[in-house]
A = this chain, B = another copy of it.
């Protein structure tokens, strides 16, 4: 598991400075199995004694997004959620009642992108998939 080092390198490799805040954002996203909002990240940084301002968090996320290190997802009503781009990308199942997220195995889009590219003439760069439902706990209520 040298992911952490890899990601820090990705930031510095692109000519950006490897600051504590950036390392913290990368590490927090790495250890999150589910998408996080900017505020989630901000709070986790604070808790772990690596406080940065919320605007810094937004700026780091913007930088990472531009460099394809994170993807922006929207889930919890009008709040942007961010996920680290990993080699094996994931999709999530979200309970519409309690907002719990569960990672799904596999990607049903695999192999389909080339078909879409041929049909539409677009260069396909990625996709976002979320599945919604009611989790067993919420159903019981």
Q: Does A49 contact B (CB under 8 A)?
A: no
Q: How many copies does the complex hold?
A: 2
A91-130 with Cβ < 8 A to chain B:
93, 95-96, 102, 104-105, 108-109, 112-113, 116-117, 119-130
Among the listed B117, B132, B134, which residue makes an inter-chain contact with A133, where contact means beta carbons less than 8 Å apart? B117
Q: A122: which of B78, B108, B135 is its contact (CB, 8 Å)?
A: B135
Known: A74-B78, A127-B132. A95 touches B122 (CB 8 A): yes
Contacts of A117 in B (CB 8 A): 133
Count of chain A residues with Cβ under 8 Å from any Cβ of B?
37
Known contacts A109-B131, A123-B134, A128-B132, then 8 further A-B pairs from the complex at CB < 8 Å, ordered by chain A residue: A78-B80, A108-B109, A121-B136, A122-B133, A125-B134, A128-B129, A128-B130, A129-B129
